[in-house]
Amino acid sequence: MSQQPTPALNLDNIQGDILSGLPKKTQTYFFFQITDVKLFRSQLSHLVPLIKTTSQVLKDRKAIQDHKKKGNKTLLTMVGVNIAFSHKGFAAIGIDDTTLTNTEPSFAQGQKQNAQSLGDKGTGGGPTFVPDWKPEFLQDIHAVILISGDSHETVSKKFDEVKGIFGIGSGHQRNSVSIKEVTTIRGDVRPGEESGHEHFGFLDGISNPSVIGFDKNPNPGPKPVRAGVLVTGHDGDLGSVNTPRPAWAVDGSYLTFRYLFQQVPEFNKFLADNPIPLPGLTPKEGSELLGARLVGRWKSGAPVDLSPFQDDPELAKDPQRVNNFRFQAEGTFQKMCPFAAHIRKTNPRADLEDFSNISIEKNRIARRGVQFGPELTQDENNSNKTEHARGLLFACYSTSIENGFAFLQRQWANVASFPPQANAAGVQAGLDPIIGQGVRTLVGTDPNTPATNLALPDFVIARGGEYFFSPSIKGLKETLSTA
């Protein structure tokens, strides 16, 4: 899929991670509080020239493509910086973000206050609820700087430069300090053949939406979305219908960050203990089928909707086919794909668009996450218990948190009666088996006994997060920073 924007999108004004994703083998998230407002806004003007735009990302991706075509196996030295602010961050520096909060209560509240509604575990309830998060994410976070690149060395060098602008880090005492670090987290693309796969082993990031006016000749699959689903101030941005965005808030996007820990040895043990007993399958193959039916794809990325009972790596490699399915044949049965499979829960396709004539355009998100933590150790494989923290630094962009991430989690992943086709089949689908929170059961894992419930332990545990907004380059230059 080539990317050729129309004049309606000013790609020099949109931060690079939103529409195309910053190219990365490693990525550092630097979360901080602003301690000296006047100084920070002045210093921010020196960060702006380092911010990588979407047009620059397209040039980077073209350079990578040309480099590979020449047969080069090495990585190009490449780095990209983006920045985003929470509502508390905008409030701290005196920016009126009313047009960002008036339709987005989650952004106004912040994710810590919002966590119970997402199903995160914690203590207390209502206004006294405290999520079971890492202590650093229980603090206020004003902003995050993302630094992506080809290597730790490249990213570390740029990170030092960024910290120097704000007077922190060794050797930067010449600048006064305007910020305080809350935490820094590094994510890394997994090595070798696992590159592109999340820690449970499944190929990830396959079904991001193509964008009208940006993606030229998209591959077959879900309907392309209008630019305003991902970029504020454009057609499809429902938050700007009644109240137009101010200039500084046009060409931006909400960024949802989630710090998700994965119980990989326990997941593998669960699959091994519960193989699907289809005739002709070995226990190992039955376990692989269970994993595929929980996710909705085989580890290769091949969808079970097209290859229901065995993996098809060639299908997975074919961009014309790997996303070209709709769950259309499964209106009231689950022979090919369970109603509650992860990719069906989070992108229901025909379940709503065809059978209920409900558009899901406003619910689409652009995912930009990266894995963190080491590969499994032999001790973990032997004990079937997690000893080292690993998981996903989940990040996604959209012009609405309420219609995007929060809706997908609260109304789809966490609701046992979704999708509605399950009710027509006389069953409750159950929760999303990967990210669903609540009473974790689902039906449909065994195609021969599709009404049988399977109880699941927690495989993914949220330990932090926040909602941010990534402003435009113009907004950073003319409104947020001062000379």
Backbone phi and psi for residue 133, each to the nearest 5 degrees, phi listed first:
-110, 165
Cβ neighbours of residue 449 closer than 8 Å, sequence gap 6 or more: none
Q: Enumerate helices (H) and strands (E) in the chain, giving the number of each.
A: 17, 15
User: Could you give the 3-state DSSP secondary structure of residue 196?
Assistant: coil
Other beta carbons less than 10 A from residue 439's beta carbon:
11
Q: Which of 17, 150, 204, 311 is catalytic?
A: 204
Q: Give dist(CA 381, CA 187) in Å, integer.
A: 22
Q: Which residues pair with 79 in a beta bridge?
A: 149
Q: What distance, in Å, lies between the first and last C-alpha atoms of the chain? A: 40
Would residue 204 show up in a list of annotated catalytic residues for this protein?
yes
Other beta carbons less than 10 A from residue 54's beta carbon:
27
Q: Name the residue type at position 316.
A: A
Other beta carbons less than 10 A from residue 67's beta carbon:
14
Count Cα neighbours of 48 within 13 Å in the Cβ-side half-sphere.
Answer: 23
How do 2-3 and 143-149 pair as beta strands? unpaired
Other beta carbons less than 10 A from residue 387's beta carbon:
11
User: Based on the number of CB atoms within 10 Å of its own CB, is 107 exposed (0-12), middle (13-18) or buried (19 or more)?
Assistant: buried
Q: Which residues pair with 211 in a beta bridge?
A: 225
Q: Catalytic positions, please?
A: 204
